[in-house]
Every structure is written in C-alpha cells, then in structure tokens.
Amino acid sequence: MRCPGQNGYDGVNMGQGQTDTNSAIEAMRIAGFQRMTPAQKLALAGALSQNIRQLALAGIRLRYPGIDEREAMLRLTAMSIDRTTMVRAFGWDPEHAISSLR
C-alpha cells in the first residue's frame, strides 16, 4: 500500500469521486474522453458492454459446465431480468432450472 498522499492516493479513502490513479494521468484520461466524438463514446460503451457479457458468460460456464448455449444465454439474461419475466417470456425458471449435467 502506498503512503498517504503519494501520487494523489491516500490508500484508505476510495469513496465516490476518488481514485487510486495519479491525478496527472486521470486528467489525461478525462481529456481523452472529452476529445472523443459521441459515436466514439458509444462504440466504447458497446465494447465494454460486450466484454462484460463475455465475462459473465465465462463465469456461468464455469459454474455450470456442460450446459448448452441456450441455457447459458438464459442464465445470462436471468442476471438482469426478474424471475417472473423469465418464466413468462422464456418459459424458463432460473430458480428451478436443472442444467444438463445435474
């Protein structure tokens, strides 16, 4: 852990609006975002969203080895849609799903 105050990082207080990034680097990062066009920002957000989906799917496949693609996608969807909607829209209950290898 760094010493308090070193490079703008106090090692303890990491609340909202605080960062462990050096303040000069943070300013460069923000300036880079400010130079981006709306289309570039949208593309970046889309890429980040896709990366998160891929990480979530990898986690699902680790927890449920051997499931098929449909069940993996249903489990991914169930992470952001309530149970009632999952049952109504997909006929699949995440609380009572039995993966293919259980």
Domain-located, residue 16: no
Is residue 7 assigned to a domain? Answer: no
14 in any annotated domain:
no
Q: pTM to 2 decimals?
A: 0.67
Q: Is residue 99 a part of any domain in this protein?
A: no
Question: How many whole angstroms separate alpha carbon 2 and alpha carbon 5?
Answer: 8
Listing DSSP states for 13-76 in one string gives ---TT--SS-HHHHHHHHHHHHHS-HHHHHHHHHHHHHHHHHHHHHHHHHHSTT--HHHHHHHH
Segments forming the whole domain that contains residue 77: 23-90
Residue with tokens 């991914």: 76
Q: Which two tokens stand for residue 62?
A: 């680790």
> Per residue in 33-89, pLDDT tens?
999 999 999 999 999 999 999 999 999 999 999 999 999 999 999 999 999 999 999
Number of domains in the chain: 1
On whether residue 81 sits in a domain, the answer given is yes
